Chain A
């Protein structure tokens, strides 16, 4: 929840539920202002005041992170959940060397100290395929290129061997050839460390290459959730369909299919489905109450009245099927409400 003018509050993330199994990659897609980054920050409880999480559960290996005190939470951040940000230049500390920052992380989590930590830092830089890692460990972030910096941040995120890595637009700031290298690296790291990955991006191409399952967010809600092949083969929510159709890829000279209108601001959401004002399939119920969650296939759920009136107000329908694939670990289940920072329409 975040405060709005005139004493109102707005939910930037509203009744969002998902889980990530051990070794699984869940892609979280959405445009700016959809609440995907706030969702990620909520998981590690880094939503800054005045934003706050008002209700829900965030479970990691069966433990509710919302019950932990700040000291225990610090142990979770970095040690159990690693974070890769879009801008490594901002996320890395400019006044310490790359190697020092990794060694410090190892020391903080009591994994290694002194020379052992230094040695491990160089090993990690080698693992993320940074050439001449011993030399690079002694360099500062500004001395590295964008691609190398993102590799260093991946090494840092992986240093304490977390169960879950949250990657928030990890390749958005990179050129396409460097992006390809970083995606290849993430795939390799996922295999080597048996990582669970929550991959946040606006780029459906990245999702298609990386994700096992996809959750599509719009205005703070997950509007469609499905295995990646199913989502691309038969996108069902009108927003997902619009998003896929607006990617260029048609015949030369052909017009693109655009979704009309823009993403509404937090303060002027429709009382019904948030997508209704832009939706080509809008009909009566859409404007009154937001649709609940309907299951239309195995692991395929969405919030849309086109697929029948939903009775269930949470994404609980996935729970039964997922538990078995979890292997008892790496599970994150969230439900939260907070805010985002995107530039908005005039209110």
Chain B
């Protein structure tokens, strides 16, 4: 099957911390990353803060301009698109942000927030858009009578549903979900995750799911890529990453997750960052890639 998303040798550099007199080498936030996502797949991108996972997600949508590399989404060469073409193409790929508080305009009614993408893309008449907004509210499990309220009148979980309704307004094929539940309480997290799973089934969505919660990633992702210092160190079906991590960093990361059985002996696997080498991915078993010698 042709992949929906195909990323090759993606690089994003930021200027280094030099000063006015002296330039220093640029910092590679994303360092030569390649992966592809099949239609309908949930692809997890995990790693700790600063590893480049959010930058990767945003480069994919060109919310951040990549430095080099190739990005194809739905047979479009995303990096070659003109500004106008990019805006049109964004119908097909949308993003859900982590923070449900800062990602919604506090001065807009939530109905208008969800309707805005339809207006920008000139879809439907006024009346058709109203109907569509009510449908979207129902789709994400919100009361369609609540469209006249403001974001502050909703809880975190409900706001995340509003963000999702807005992202789905244009019927995208790809949704980049950047830590969509990590700001929510555990019991509410589960509700939003279930909604994401239901919507995927109903609408055939493809997710790039960026997260640091490894337990969650294991349960909902088909394949997982682990990032460390801008590099992909491992890429495999979710269950293989957890059952047989091939890269020492992955093993260390997994061993650091607190176990839910009290009294269980802790076996932490240390990882020495100073000895990290940037190696290319190698297939260690069918479909399981790791940056090891």
* Chain A interfacial positions (CB closer than 8 Å to B): 31-32, 175-180, 183-184, 202-206, 208-209, 211, 228-229, 232, 242-244, 246-260, 262-263, 343-346
Contacts and interface: CB of A to CB of B under 8 A. Distances in A.
A262 B219 contact: no
Interface string B208-240: 000011111011111000000000000000110
Contact of A180 (B101, B194, B256): B256
B18 interface: no
Contact of B215 (A178, A242, A247): A247
8 contacts: A176-B212, A177-B271, A208-B262, A209-B258, A229-B262, A243-B186, A243-B187, A252-B220
Interface in B160-219: 185-191, 193-194, 197, 212-216, 218-219
B239 A252 contact: yes
Contact of A247 (B154, B186, B264, B271): B186
Given A180-B268, A248-B216, A31 B48 contact: no
A232 B155 contact: no
A262 B155 contact: yes
Nearest to B217: A248
Greatest chain A CB density within 10 A among B156, B213, B253, B262 is at B262
Greatest chain B CB density within 10 A among A203, A206, A249 is at A249
Contacts of A180: 255-256, 258, 268
Given A177-B252, A205-B258, A257-B190, A184 B185 contact: no
Interface residues of B, number: 47
B121 interface: no
B263 interface: yes
Interface of B: 48-49, 101, 149, 153-158, 185-191, 193-194, 197, 212-216, 218-222, 238-239, 252-253, 255-264, 266, 268, 271
Contacts of A176: 48, 212, 214, 253, 256-257
Contact of A232 (B191, B216, B256, B261): B261
A9 to B, nearest CB: 23
5 tightest A-B contacts by CB? A205-B258, A258-B190, A180-B256, A256-B190, A175-B48
Contacts of B259: 205, 208-209
A343 B156 contact: yes
B13 to A, nearest CB: 23
A248 B212 contact: no
Given A202-B186, A247-B186, A262-B155, A252 B262 contact: no
A346 B154 contact: yes
Contacts of A178: 48
Contacts of B193: 248, 256
Contacts of B154: 345-346
Contact of A32 (B185, B197, B263): B185
A248 B218 CA distance: 8
A246 B190 contact: yes
A253 B207 CA distance: 13
A91 to B, nearest CB: 20
A263 B261 CA distance: 27
B256 A177 contact: yes
A343 B188 CA distance: 14
A175 B49 contact: yes
Given A179-B258, A228-B262, A247-B260, 12 more contacts: A176-B212, A176-B256, A177-B256, A178-B48, A180-B255, A203-B258, A204-B186, A249-B219, A251-B219, A252-B218, A259-B190, A344-B155
Greatest chain B CB density within 10 A among A178, A202, A258 is at A258
B186 A246 contact: yes
A249 B193 CA distance: 13
A243 B190 CA distance: 10
Contact of B258 (A31, A32, A206, A253): A206
Given A177-B48, A177-B256, A249-B215, A345 B155 contact: yes
Nearest to B258: A205
A255 to B, nearest CB: 5
Given A246-B190, A252-B218, A253-B220, A31 B212 contact: no
A343 to B, nearest CB: 6
Given A202-B186, A205-B258, A262-B157, A248 B213 contact: yes
Given A176-B48, A208-B262, A263 B268 contact: no
